[in-house]
Each structure stands twice: as structure tokens, then as C-alpha cells.
């Protein structure tokens, strides 16, 4: 275990990255996201949070990505399919967790194996949907701001209508 | 100490000091060196266990070809072959070897059962699945006739392969629960032991699928009783005092003891036990501490030699003004059991433990953990445990 020492004498222990080498290929990513999302904010020590965040980056760089590359860039089609199936599930639940594999999808879309192509397409679509959701959220924020400004008389009807049109086009 | 009027924030200092001591020692931790007159058991993975089975079967076949009278040798598990290793504080198996023969009427049933269990173990390992002891009995009721026989053969097979029972994929039925500041991996799932409600996580007997992945706990508390565990879980004790709580509802089975051992070894945290103040409670503590005689060949993988007896000590009953109405008189059986425990070498060598048991014998009283409820339901979580953990009043 990797030990992180808190100022109050307490500790946080995380599994060593060496032990993750035998994990299913997508699991290091799930672990990183899990600790970042659910645990990091609970330790109550900013220094430890920083150190753990750096350790999670280290896991991403040294274990998660190389393992994905070794499987997705390899020749074992069954292993690629298995990994892609897990990544597809992951991309549905939390797209950000699966994001590091995005650069490798282009090659997989050209693969001769139909199952691999199908899974790669599905993951790509999940990324596109997530990107669109993000964009829409940003536009929705802008739209709300424009509405407030329009109601306050700070912008004219034409400017408001233009923003509304852009928002609705994206929404469709 | 206990009599002062208290409504304070416990600093939990003694436990923190113990944790620091463990952390400092941690880096210089060495492998356990077993005495020469004891046998060494390995915790094997699937492939290694299969290899040992094949080697064993090969040697039996070789004996058949060479002599026509095959035998199997295995370490004796009789009490005369159980040794207390003072240095490591463990009960271990000595080097006495038993020979089981195929060609005698007395041992033919025994060895046939043994080989049948070996065959089942091979199947479990090849299929990468697990079975309970009860399931093993039902695979061949005619041969085993009674579960005692299949259970004995299961333990014989593990010791014959010089490995742990868990390595044979024969597991105990789930019994204990665990809750608190711990995150584990069970194959592809991450399980948060803080987020499972007050019921907690049922300790999986398939521990080869379990991995400890994160914890910010600073100590582990093993609780004898379900009711006490419920009290602590309801109070969310681990939120105020960063810990992992574990109960086996009585004597810990193999899975619970092995899981505790792994927690203690991998996280290197102080471990405490909270048991009834009676000979059975002290016996439960001793099983966690040194292992049981029956499974002495597995002790290095099951025992937690650094576990401290936090309570309930006989001396606590006066220190915390436990009323006479909730103190129970010892029965004849209690007195006999207490005397038996007092006769154990490992108790004789621990003066504080010996004195506390002697005090119980002198007063002829016992008490359950729940006796603290006579001071209010929160007394255990708000006063007794925090004070003991802060002052270091443990054995």
C-alpha cells in the first residue's frame, strides 16, 4: 500500500500501482475516477489531497494508459473485444473515465473485425453524445444569461432571438 | 481514570501513538521465521495448488508401480504435534508425519475419502469456482456418511498439500460482517464499506477475489457480538473515530480470521478486540491472537498476533461502575474454562491477561458487553470505547 500522512497524524492508504498490473484493463481507470470523485474530498487535508492527486496521475500514466494501449494495440482480437465491451459499458456510465482511449478509436474503426468496429463506433457515439451534452449545458447557461439580460432590457430582441436559435438548433 | 466526570472530546492519543509505532516499524518489517521443528505452509494461487496436486498424484502412481502398496503422508494434526511458537506468538504444527495406506482395512475408507476430496479440489480449481464444506459433503453422501468425515478430509487435503484451506477453493459459509473506512475490490467491482448501511459488507469467503484498495482508517475493532456491532454501526462510530469494524458473531470462521489477518498485514493498523467479560470472550480473543489448535497448520495465515484485548476486562466492571444487577455469576463450566485458559502458556506469559482472568476467578463474576447499557445506550460508543482508545487501557 502507498501511505499518505495527514497533518493530524492520520493516514490514507492506497493500493500500490504495481498490484494493478493484473487487474482487468479498464479497472485502473475506474479506480482513478472513483478516488477522485468519491474519496479525495473526504480526507480533510489539502496537502494529502494534492499528493494523492499526483499519485492518481502517476497511475494513469504508468498503468492505466499503457495497459489499454497494450491491449487495444495488440493482435489478440478476443482480448480487444473483451476490453472494448468493458470500455463501452464504462463510457455509458461515465464517459470521462473512458476518455483516455479516444486517440486509439480511429485505428480500431478501420479494423477488419466487424465486432471491433461496432464496439469502437458505439464508444465513439457515446463520446459524441457526452460532448454534445456538455456543449448543450454550456449553451443552456448562456441562454439563461441572455434571458436575464433580455428581461432586464440589457440586450435587444434580435440578439436574444439569435442566441435562442443557436440553442434550439443544437438541442435538435 | 474512569471515575472522573467526563463530557469531553477524546484525543484517542494512545491509539495514535500505537499507529505511529507500527508505521515506523512497518518499513523494517520482516518475514516470519518459523522454528525448525514446525512445518511451513504456503498460501498458494490456483496454478500452484494444481501443481502440488499433480506432483502428489504422480508420487502415488510412482509408488503403485514400484511397490504396489501406495501410501500418502501428511502432517499429524493431533494435539501432541501442536507447538506454541513463543517468538511469533503462534500455534503451529510440528513435524510429526502420518502415513495413510491404501491396503489396510482401517485406513481404506479414510484414504478413499481423502482422494475423493482431492479430486473435487482439482475440479474446483480447474473450473475456478468455490464450494462450501456442506456442498462437499453432498457431492458424495454415501462415501462421507457424515459431514464430520468430509470436513476432516478437507483439512487433511489442505495440510497434505502444505497449503491453506482457502487455496483449495473450499470455503466456509459467509458469516461475519465488516463496515467502516475501507474500500475493496471484488473482481470488477469497487465496494465502499462506508456506504452499505448499518448492515455492512458480508465478508466473502472467496477471499482470493478480494483486494484492499483504499482506507483512511487508523485502527481496526473486532467485536464479538452482533448487538454491539449494531450499536456501533448505528452510531456511525467510524465517522468520529477513523476505524474499520468487524464482527464474526462469535468465534471467527476461517474467512473472517483470514480477512482480519489481511487487513492487519496490508494496512499495518492497530487491531483491538471487544468481547464479553467471560471465558468464552477470552477464548474468542485467543483464537484471533494465536489461531485455533484444530487449524494450527494455517495459523500464520489466520492469526493476528498484534491484536490487543481492549475489553471488556474484569477490572473494567469496577472502573466503570457496572451495577451488580448486570454482573452475572460464573457457572461451574465458566470456572473450569477460565482455569483451562489460565493454564495456557501464552496466557501465563502475559501478566496483565493472567491477572485479569485471575480476578474474574476470584470474584466469580462475568459480564456481557451489553452491561454498559445500564449507563445508557450511548455509553459504549460515547464513553467506554473512546476512553479506552485514548488512555491505552488494553491488554
Mean pLDDT of chain B: 89
Residues of A with CB below 8 A from B190's CB?
30-31, 34
Q: What is the average pLDDT across B36-53?
A: 89
With respect to residue B3, please indicate whether it lies within any of the assigned structural domains. Answer: no
Which of A83-97, B4-18, B48-62, B291-305 tops mean pLDDT?
A: B48-62
pLDDT at A76: 87
Q: For the domain that residue B158 is a member of, what is the CATH number?
A: 1.10.10.10
Q: Which residue has the cell 523494517?
A: B28
Q: Which contiguous run of DSSP H or E holds residue A138?
A: helix A114-151
Q: What is the predicted pLDDT for the residue at A101?
A: 81
Query: For position B280, which CATH number holds?
Result: 3.40.1360.10
A128 inside domain: no
Query: Which residues partner with B185 through β-bridges?
Result: B190, B211
Residue A127 lies in a domain: no
Residue A38 is classified by DSSP as I
B5 in any annotated domain: no
User: Are B297 and B353 found together in one domain?
Assistant: yes
pLDDT digits (tens, 9 = 90+) for A80-118: 898 888 788 878 877 877 887 888 888 889 888 999 999
What pLDDT score does B5 carry?
45
User: Do residues B180 and B79 share a domain?
Assistant: no
Q: Which alpha helices (H) appear in chain B, and where do they start and end?
A: 13-26, 46-67, 105-127, 133-139, 141-144, 147-160, 226-234, 237-240, 254-267, 279-290, 299-302, 314-319, 332-342, 345-348, 351-363, 379, 385-391
Is pLDDT at B25 greater than 50 in this prediction? yes
Q: pTM for this one? A: 0.80
B75 touches chain A (CB under 8 A): no
The crossing angle, in degrees rounded to 10, of helices A114-151 and A157-171 is 160
Closest-CA residue in chain A for B215?
Answer: A13
pLDDT in tens, A114-149: 999 999 999 999 999 988 888 888 888 888 888 888
Q: Is B181 within the bounds of a domain?
A: yes
In-domain check, residue A53: yes
Vertex A4 angle, CA B12 and B11, to 5°? 10
Q: Do B199 and B338 belong together in one domain?
A: yes
- Asked whether B269 and B219 are in contact (CB, 8 A), the reply is yes
**B326 shares a domain with B220:** yes
A25 assigned to some structural domain: yes
Is residue B1 situated within a structural domain? no
Q: Residues near B116 by Cβ (< 8 Å), separated by ≥ 6?
A: B139, B140, B143, B153
Is A93 contained in some domain?
A: no
Span B244-290, pLDDT tens digits: 999 988 888 888 999 999 999 999 999 999 999 999 999 999 999 98
> Which three cell numbers, joined as nine digits, stand for B127?
473450473
Clarify whether residues B189 and B304 are in a common domain: yes
A16: closest CA of chain B, how far (Å): 8
What pLDDT sits at residue B31? Answer: 63
Look at residue B26 and tell me whether its pLDDT is greater than 90: no
**Alpha-carbon span B389 to B272, nearest angstrom:** 9
Count of domains for chain B: 2
DSSP-assigned states of every residue in B94-148: BS-EEEEESSSHHHHHHHHHHHHHHHHHHHHHHHT--EEHHHHHHH-HHHHSSHH
A34/B242 CB distance under 8 A? no
Annotation marks residue B283 as catalytic: no
Q: Is residue B118 part of a domain?
A: yes
Does the pLDDT value for residue B91 go beyond 80? no
Window 25-44 of B: residues touching A by CB (8 A cutoff) are none
Q: Which among B152, B171, B190 is the end of a domain?
A: B171
B289 and B191 both lie in a single domain: yes
Give B66's contacts (C-beta < 8 A, 6+ positions apart). Answer: none
Judgement on whether residues B98 and B187 belong to the same structural domain of the protein: no
Q: What's the pLDDT score for residue B29?
A: 53
Of chain B, the percentage scoring pLDDT greater than 70 comes to 96
Q: pLDDT per residue over B200-240, tens digit each?
A: 899 998 888 899 999 999 999 999 998 899 999 999 999 98
Give residue B3's pLDDT.
Answer: 45
Q: What is the DSSP string of B269-312?
A: --EEEE--BSHHHHHHHHHHHH--STTGGGHHHH--TT-EEEE-
Q: Is the pLDDT of residue B6 over 70?
A: no
Q: Which domain range does residue B100 map to?
A: 46-171
Would you give the DSSP letter of residue B367? B
The nearest alpha carbon in chain B to A9 belongs to: B16
DSSP secondary structure of A58-116: HHIIIIIHHHHHHHHTSS-HHHHHHHHHHHHHHHHH-HHHHGGGHHHHHHHTT-S-HHH
Q: Domain for residue B4, yes or no?
A: no
**A150 falls within a domain:** no
Cα dihedral across residues B145, B147, B151, B152: positive or negative = negative
Asked if B246 and B130 sit in the same domain, the reply is: no
**pLDDT(B2) > 60:** no
Q: Are B178 and B147 contained in the same domain?
A: no
Cα distances from B33 to residues A15, A61, B159, B197, B342, in angstroms, run: 26, 38, 19, 41, 27
Q: How many domains does chain A have?
A: 1
pLDDT attached to residue B310: 96
Note the pLDDT of residue B183. Answer: 97
Q: How does residue A172 score in pLDDT terms, banded at 50, 70 and 90?
A: low
Report chain A residues touching chain B, CB-CB < 8 A: 1, 3, 9-15, 19, 23-24, 27, 30-31, 34-35, 38-39, 42-43, 86
pLDDT(B7) > 60:
no
The answer to whether residues B172 and B133 touch, using CB atoms and an 8 Å cutoff, is yes
Chain A nearest-CA residue for B266: A1
- Domain finish residue from B171, B195, B220: B171
Greatest Cα pair distance, chain B, in angstroms, is 80
Residue A66 covered by a domain: yes
Do residues B156 and B208 both lie within one domain?
no
**Residue A141 belongs to a domain:** no
Domain that holds residue A39: 1-72
Separation CA B193–CA B7 (nearest Å): 30
Question: Do B122 and B222 fall into the same domain?
Answer: no
Are B90 and B144 within one domain? Answer: yes
Q: Is the model's pLDDT at B355 over the cut of 80?
A: yes
For the residues B295-313, what does the mean pLDDT come to? 86
Interface test with B, best of A1, A89, A94 (most B CBs within 10 A): A1
Does residue B85 lie in a domain region?
yes
| From B54, B65, B138, B283, the catalytic residue | B138
**B interface test, pick of A2, A15, A19, A40 with most B CB neighbours within 10 Å:** A15
pLDDT at B367: 94
pLDDT of B4 > 50? The answer is no
Q: Identify whether B41 is part of a domain.
A: no
Amino acid at each position: 500500500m502507498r501511505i499518505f500522512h495527514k497533518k493530524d497524524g492520520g493516514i490514507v492508504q492506497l493500493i500500490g500501482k504495481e498490484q494493478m498490473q493484473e487487474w482487468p484493463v479498464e479497472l485502473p481507470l475506474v479506480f482513478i475516477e472513483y478516488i477522485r470523485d468519491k474519496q479525495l474530498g473526504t480526507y480533510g487535508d489539502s496537502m494529502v489531497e494534492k499528493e494523492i492527486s499526483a499519485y492518481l496521475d502517476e497511475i494513469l500514466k504508468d498503468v492505466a494508459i499503457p495497459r489499454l494501449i497494450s491491449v487495444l494495440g495488440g493482435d489478440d482480437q478476443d482480448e480487444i473485444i473483451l476490453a472494448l465491451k468493458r470500455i463501452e459499458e464504462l463510457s455509458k456510465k461515465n464517459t470521462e473515465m473512458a476518455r483516455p482511449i479516444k486517440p486509439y478509436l480511429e485505428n480500431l474503426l478501420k479494423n477488419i473485425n466487424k465486432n471491433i468496429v461496432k464496439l469502437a463506433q458505439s464508444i465513439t457515439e457515446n463520446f459524441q453524445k457526452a460532448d454534445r451534452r456538455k456543449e448543450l449545458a454550456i449553451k443552456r447557461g448562456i441562454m439563461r444569461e441572455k434571458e436575464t439580460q433580455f428581461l432586464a432590457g440589457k440586450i435587444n430582441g434580435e440578439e436574444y432571438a439569435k442566441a435562442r436559435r443557436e440553442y434550439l438548433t443544437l438541442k435538435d | 481514570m474512569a471515575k472522573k466526570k467526563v463530557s469531553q472530546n477524546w484525543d484517542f492519543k494512545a491509539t495514535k501513538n500505537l499507529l505511529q509505532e507500527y508505521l515506523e516499524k512497518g518499513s523494517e518489517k520482516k518475514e516470519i521465521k518459523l522454528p525448525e521443528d514446525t512445518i511451513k505452509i504456503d498460501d498458494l494461487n490456483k496454478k500452484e495448488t494444481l501443481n502440488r496436486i499433480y506432483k502428489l498424484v504422480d508420487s502415488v502412481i510412482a509408488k503403485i508401480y514400484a511397490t504396489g502398496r501406495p501410501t500418502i503422508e501428511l502432517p499429524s494434526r493431533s494435539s501432541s504435534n501442536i507447538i506454541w511458537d513463543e517468538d511469533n506468538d503462534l500455534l503451529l504444527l510440528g513435524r510429526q508425519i502420518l502415513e495413510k495406506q491404501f491396503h489396510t482395512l482401517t485406513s481404506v475408507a479414510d484414504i478413499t475419502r481423502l482422494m475423493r476430496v482431492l479430486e473435487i479440489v482439482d475440479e474446483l480449481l480447474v473450473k475456478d469456482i468455490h464450494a462450501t464444506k456442506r456442498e462437499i459433503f453432498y457431492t458424495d453422501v454415501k462415501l462421507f456418511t457424515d459431514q464430520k468425515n468430509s470436513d476432516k478430509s478437507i483439512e487433511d487435503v489442505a495440510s497434505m498439500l502444505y497449503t491453506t484451506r482457502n487455496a483449495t477453493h473450499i470455503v466456509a459459509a459467509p458469516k461475519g460482517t465488516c463496515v467502516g473506512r475501507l474500500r475493496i475490490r471484488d473482481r470488477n467491482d469497487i465496494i465502499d464499506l462506508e456506504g452499505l448501511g448499518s448492515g455492512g459488507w458480508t465478508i466473502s469467503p472467496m477471499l482470493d477475489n478480494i483486494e484492499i484498495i483504499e482506507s483512511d482508517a487508523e485502527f481496526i475493532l473486532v467485536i464479538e457480538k452482533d448487538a454491539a456491532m449494531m450499536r456501533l454501526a448505528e452510531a456511525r462510530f467510524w465517522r468520529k473515530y477513523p476505524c474499520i469494524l468487524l464482527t464474526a458473531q462469535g468465534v471467527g470462521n476461517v474467512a473472517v480470521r483470514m480477512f482480519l489477518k489481511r487487513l492487519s498485514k496490508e494496512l499495518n493498523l492497530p487491531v483491538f478486540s471487544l468481547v464479553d467479560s467471560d471465558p468464552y470472550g477470552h477464548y474468542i480473543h485467543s483464537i484471533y491472537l494465536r489461531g485455533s489448535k484444530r487449524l494450527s497448520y494455517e495459523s500464520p495465515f489466520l492469526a493476528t498476533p498484534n491484536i490487543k484485548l481492549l475489553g471488556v476486562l474484569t477490572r473494567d466492571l469496577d472502573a466503570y461502575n457496572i451495577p451488580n444487577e448486570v454482573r452475572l455469576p460464573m457457572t461451574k463450566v465458566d470456572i473450569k474454562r477460565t482455569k483451562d485458559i489460565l493454564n495456557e502458556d501464552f496466557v501465563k506469559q502475559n501478566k496483565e491477561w493472567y491477572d485479569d482472568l485471575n480476578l474474574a476467578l476470584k470474584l466469580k463474576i462475568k459480564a456481557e458487553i451489553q452491561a454498559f447499557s445500564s449507563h445508557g445506550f450511548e455509553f459504549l460508543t460515547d464513553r467506554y470505547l473512546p476512553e479506552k482508545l485514548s488512555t491505552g487501557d488494553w491488554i
